[in-house]
Amino acid sequence: MMPAMTDTDQSGLILQSTVTAAGQLRLSLVPDAPGLPGPGEVVVRVEAAPINPSDLALLTGPADLDTLRVEDGPDGPVTVADVPRERLRALAARLDRPMAVGNEGAGTVIAAGEGAEALIGRRVGMLGGAMFTQLRRLPARDCAVLPDGATAADGAAMFVNPLTALSMPEVMRREGHRALIHTAAASNLGRMLNRVCLADGVPLVNVVRSPEQAALLRGEGAAYVIDTSAPDHRAALTDAVAETGATVAFDAVGGGRGANMLLHAMEAAAARAATEYNRYGSDSFKQVYIYGGLDTGPTELDRGFGFAWSVGGFLLTPFLKKIGGQAVGEMKARVARELTTTFASRYTRTVSLRDAIDPETVRAYSRKATGAKVLIDPTL
């Protein structure tokens, strides 16, 4: 039987990021033909793809963005930046290999292979990399049909942030904690997590960096908001941790003394309940997961919080693998049901693929300013 398909001879443009052995980052758009969909596959016309912080490691990660400039290339203009030599060694495996970028997106199915014919013409969200492109071929199982009336923008970010927001309370429960701390809490992800925790009755301590961010979260119903620009924030954090019993935190910042501050607050809260001095610190186990790198500097831990602690990396994909298909399926179903409410994303700017590699735009989204989020529309 022939695969049912229409109009698959098309080719489109795809965004590629290359780090050269000579020490350049090169961002360009090159022609790409997705090819015919095989059994169980579809071809999607991409209509929306968010630039997530988790895309930046691949997109621009090692480059010195102060050196961004445009040069002429064989396929049109190329955005170029220098990569400091000392960062090249860690990149050996990607040197001179063009990398496709973009963890997730949404669009309309324009062709389908055997068994996936029912998806033709449907609007879907997609997870799987290489989404900063005009045409994407992928397995139908990596797509989720959007609810009626949902736009591509609504469905473009239905995986990374929503599944991360659902995973944090899931980690909390599975590891025996009873409340959560989250930093950079006024981000798209942070506001989503706040809505999840309010709906599910999970006590959440939101840590933000300005009075405006604090007001935003309080306006969205958050009970515990700590503004680290306030002079009394350490005492306020300890109070919130003591009241909620939070012993696990998810930290988007990574560098500096943020994780250290969280561990001290947890230990101080535990010490309030203690009746006698313990030279090795409290027995209360304290966990910080670092899932982002808003501050790329080193993490500093003064260890003045006893021995019952752990700081580690958190990455979504291995966690989903660990909890297994059924648990992940339930999460995905919830995201689809609450796509335009709990899991709504907001964008401050929509750009074309070409604009996405414009030096000024690159610098803007690389600042990762809270609340500023860029959506690529490859049809523009």
In the complex, minimum distance from the CB of residue 323 to a second copy, in angstroms, rounded to a whole number: 16
d(CA 175, CA 291): 17
Q: 157 with 52: CB under 8 angstroms?
A: yes
120 contacts a second copy (rule: CB under 8 A): no
The DSSP letter of residue 192 is H
Paired residues of 309 in beta bridges: 286
d(CA 81, CA 62): 10
Select the span of 107-115, 160-168, 203-211, 308-316 touching a second copy (CB under 8 A): 308-316
Select the span of 67-75, 150-158, 290-298, 361-369 touching a second copy (CB under 8 A): 290-298
Q: Alpha carbon of 239 to those of 30, 206, 217, 263: distances in Å?
A: 54, 13, 18, 13
- Report the Cα 267 to chain-centroid distance in Å: 29
Beta carbon nearer to a second copy, 42 or 357 = 357
Beta carbon nearer to a second copy, 45 or 368 = 368
96 contacts a second copy (rule: CB under 8 A): no
Select the residue interacting with a second copy from 25, 216, 308, 375 (CB under 8 A).
Answer: 308
Q: How many residues does the chain have?
A: 380
Select the residue interacting with a second copy from 199, 274, 333, 369 (CB under 8 A).
Answer: 274
Q: 102 with 133: CB under 8 angstroms?
A: yes
Paired residues of 104 in beta bridges: 127
Select the residue interacting with a second copy from 6, 21, 75, 97 (CB under 8 A).
Answer: 97
310 contacts a second copy (rule: CB under 8 A): yes
Q: 144 with 123: CB under 8 angstroms?
A: no
In the complex, minimum distance from the CB of residue 26 to a second copy, in angstroms, rounded to a whole number: 16
Select the span of 6-14, 26-34, 88-96, 354-362 touching a second copy (CB under 8 A): 88-96
318 contacts a second copy (rule: CB under 8 A): yes
Residues ≥6 apart with Cβ < 8 Å to 161: 52, 188, 189, 192, 343, 345
Read out DSSP for 247-290? -EEEES-EEETHHHHHHHHHHHHHHHH-SS--TT--S--EEEEE
Select the residue interacting with a second copy from 30, 65, 91, 100 (CB under 8 A).
Answer: 91
Sign (positive/negative) of CA torsion 323, 326, 330, 331? positive
313 contacts a second copy (rule: CB under 8 A): yes
301 contacts a second copy (rule: CB under 8 A): yes
Select the residue interacting with a second copy from 9, 279, 325, 360 (CB under 8 A).
Answer: 279
Instruction: Name which of 287, 302, 223 is nearest 257 in CA terms.
Output: 302
- Report the Cα 369 to chain-centroid distance in Å: 14
In the complex, minimum distance from the CB of residue 225 to a second copy, in angstroms, rounded to a whole number: 26
Strand, coil or helix: what is 292? Answer: coil
Beta carbon nearer to a second copy, 37 or 258 = 258
In the complex, minimum distance from the CB of residue 313 to a second copy, in angstroms, rounded to a whole number: 3
Select the span of 152-160, 185-193, 209-217, 310-318 touching a second copy (CB under 8 A): 310-318
User: Which residues make up the interface to a second copy (CB under 8 A)?
Assistant: 57-58, 61, 90-91, 93-94, 97, 99, 254-255, 260, 271, 274, 276-281, 283, 290-291, 293, 298-304, 306-315, 318
